[in-house]
Amino acid sequence: MYVTAPLPATRTQEIVPSKPNITHQRTMTIKPGKHLFLEGDPADRIYEVASGVLRLTRIMEDGRRQVIAFGYPGDTVGFPSDGLYHTDCDALMPTTLVAHRRKTLESGEGDTALHQRLLQAALREISAMQDHFMMLGRKSSIEKLASFLMALTDRVGDRLGDFDQVKLPMTRADIADFLGLTTETVSRTFTQLRKSQIIAIDHINTVIILKPLTLRCIAEGDDNI
Amino acid sequence: MYVTAPLPATRTQEIVPSKPNITHQRTMTIKPGKHLFLEGDPADRIYEVASGVLRLTRIMEDGRRQVIAFGYPGDTVGFPSDGLYHTDCDALMPTTLVAHRRKTLESGEGDTALHQRLLQAALREISAMQDHFMMLGRKSSIEKLASFLMALTDRVGDRLGDFDQVKLPMTRADIADFLGLTTETVSRTFTQLRKSQIIAIDHINTVIILKPLTLRCIAEGDDNI
DNA sequence: CGACGCGTTGATATGGCTCAAGAGTGGTGG
DNA sequence: CCACCACTCTTGAGCCATATCAACGCGTCG
């Protein structure tokens, strides 16, 4: 049903260590389309994204897909539960990661400061997911897309004169599966925002936010523009 | 819009300490309808539910509500992010709690075993929320309700001869706001499951699962009954 | 050049929402 | 003990937002 087919599992063998000769290997690179881990894999590592973008997904047997999150630089992915990963994770572009032992999070042995950082990342993750709930459960398609664009712009947007600009490394299908919509609805909603002069679209994957305040109002559900 | 109005804030003053004379107060009781904390409150405590049921909610300005989770015995609520709570929390019935200092989770000073337990609870929470995402974003109303009933039955159901039985301490509106539906749709879906002889309903708030396997299939999206 | 993947747009279908009415259910006070 | 009231739940009718099905354009790659 969903265009983006579950890819055949190509995993760790595809990960290219950046500094192959150091004993305590921690930094690595992953190529677009390659999986960092799959749902059900033993979760021995937790990863901090240094550059690039990751995609965390869950897939039902019949192919329905939910994008749980996109992992941007500064994000931490791969939190274990019962020692396993509970999502698939792959890269949307060449992505560099710093890997940490699961023990660093779970027992705190060794690097206390790192343990703290990973723990805080887990707590932020819980908070971010709560936002996402409201979006999935209670917002209209235009509110969903506006929320998504605002969140991404706040996080990784660029100032462009009077406007904001944000690059979208993911496909419309990814956005749809993140927001609980179809690609068609996402596309129509982009068009609607574009025709309302709230955004402009440059080469499909770059969005210019012409009216950030208006977009934020839409995201919050202020229907009186 | 939603029937259950945001209640006036009645908070900690309503919490009844069970053992008022002990210095290191940790166990407490909260009455139905009373708030344990509100979104934006400083998050100085993390709570383990010992008995009863809590409700974690988020509310938009226009009244749209999302139930983030129900807190059953064994669950931990109140994970802080930036030192604040990010949901409201109130009780659906008389509920007893064990309170822990935020520091116990964050710094791990003192009780290492407890620190471990709270950390694991946070990781389980992340995993549980990922399930919830799939439900909110990609499931039909009947799949949502079936998932909800199965999860609750697995967690707190009773064996009743050949059947399973589960009590629902929350209203239809709560279930609707948890599943991203309306009360009418929840009610109609209950009726549909009842007419299909998959469940029976006893006094509104007790559900008997007549065909657990069928219900589980529906929850997973196996449409071929 | 042809094939494919992705995005857009159009036409139509439909699942869940909205609005409305009525049927339990429980609590309260006379 | 009953009458009343407030609240929740259920059911019906109609509608609307989004899904579905389909066609096509565009860019990329072999």
Alpha carbons within 13 A on the beta-carbon side of B143: 18
What's the pLDDT at A105? Answer: 87
| Cα–Cα distance measured from residue A104 to residue A143, given in angstroms and rounded to the nearest whole number | 39
List of long-range contacts for B163-166, beta carbons under 8 Å, 24+ apart: B163/B208, B163/B209, B163/B210, B163/B212, B164/B208, B164/B209, B164/B212, B165/B206, B165/B207, B165/B208, B165/B209, B166/B206, B166/B207, B166/B209
Dihedral of CA atoms A117, B80, A41, B146 in degrees, nearest 10, equals: -170
The residue assigned the tokens 């982009």 is A190
- The shortest C-alpha distance from B132 to chain A (Å) reads 8
Q: Please say whether the beta carbons of A76 and A47 come within 8 A.
A: yes
What's the pLDDT at B9? Answer: 41
Q: Please say whether the beta carbons of B39 and B88 come within 8 A.
A: yes
Nucleotide nearest to B144 (CA to C1'): C16
What's the pLDDT at A17? Answer: 52
For residue B197, pLDDT beyond 50: yes
For residue B191, pLDDT beyond 90: yes
Q: Cβ A138–B179 below 8 Å, yes or no?
A: no
What's the pLDDT at A25? Answer: 52
Nearest CA to A111 out of A98, A123, A124 is that of: A98
Q: How many Å does it take to go from CA A34 to C1' C5?
A: 18
Among A22-36, A66-80, B115-129, the range scoring the smallest mean pLDDT is A22-36
What's the pLDDT at A112? Answer: 83
Encode pLDDT of B75-116 as tens digits.
Answer: 999 999 999 999 999 999 999 999 999 988 888 777 888 898
Confidence band of B186 (pLDDT split at 50, 70, 90): very high
The predicted model scores a pTM of: 0.89
pLDDT, mean of residues A54-82 = 96
The residue assigned the tokens 């967690």 is B155
A182: CB within 7 A of chain C nucleic strand: no
* B120: Cβ contacts below 8 Å, ≥ 6 apart: A106
Chain B residues with beta carbon closer than 8 angstroms to that of A117: none
Alpha carbons within 13 A on the beta-carbon side of B69: 25
| Cα–Cα distance measured from residue B166 to residue A123, given in angstroms and rounded to the nearest whole number | 31
What's the pLDDT at B75? Answer: 97
pLDDT, mean of residues A54-78 = 96
Length of chain B: 225
Encode pLDDT of A73-111 as tens digits.
Answer: 999 999 999 999 999 999 999 999 999 999 888 887 778
* B51: Cβ contacts below 8 Å, ≥ 6 apart: B73, B94, B95, B96
Alpha carbons within 13 A on the beta-carbon side of A56: 23
Confidence band of A11 (pLDDT split at 50, 70, 90): very low
Q: Which residues of B touch A (CB under 8 A)?
A: 58, 60-62, 64-66, 68, 79-82, 86-87, 105-108, 115-116, 119-120, 122-127, 129-130, 132-134, 136-139, 177, 179-180, 220-222
How many C-beta atoms surround the C-beta of residue A62 within 10 A? 11
For residue B225, pLDDT beyond 90: no
pLDDT, mean of residues A39-47 = 96
pLDDT > 90 fraction of chain A, expressed in percent and rounded = 77
What's the pLDDT at B35? Answer: 95
What's the pLDDT at B181? Answer: 98
Among A19-23, A204-208, B66-70, B115-119, the range scoring the smallest mean pLDDT is A19-23
Q: What's the mean per-residue pLDDT of chain A? A: 89
Nearest CA to A80 out of A114, A46, A112 is that of: A46
Secondary structure element (H or E) that encloses residue B106, with its range = helix B102-106
Encode pLDDT of A141-159 as tens digits.
Answer: 999 999 999 999 999 999 9
pLDDT, mean of residues B146-150 = 98
Backbone φ, ψ for residue B130 (5° rounding):
-65, -40
Length of chain A: 225
Q: How many Å does it take to go from CA B130 to C1' D19?
A: 24
Nucleotide nearest to B204 (CA to C1'): D9
pLDDT, mean of residues B212-217 = 96
Q: Please say whether the beta carbons of B53 and B72 come within 8 A.
A: yes
Please give the residue that has the higher pLDDT: either A68 or B1.
Answer: A68
What's the pLDDT at A18? Answer: 52
Among A19-28, A42-51, A133-142, the range scoring the smallest mean pLDDT is A19-28
Nucleotide nearest to B173 (CA to C1'): D8
Encode pLDDT of A117-128 as tens digits.
Answer: 999 999 999 999
Q: Please say whether the beta carbons of B183 and B176 come within 8 A.
A: yes
Nearest CA to A27 out of A57, A9, A8, A52 is that of: A52
Encode pLDDT of A201-219 as tens digits.
Answer: 998 899 999 999 999 999 9
The residue assigned the tokens 């749209």 is B64
Confidence band of A7 (pLDDT split at 50, 70, 90): very low
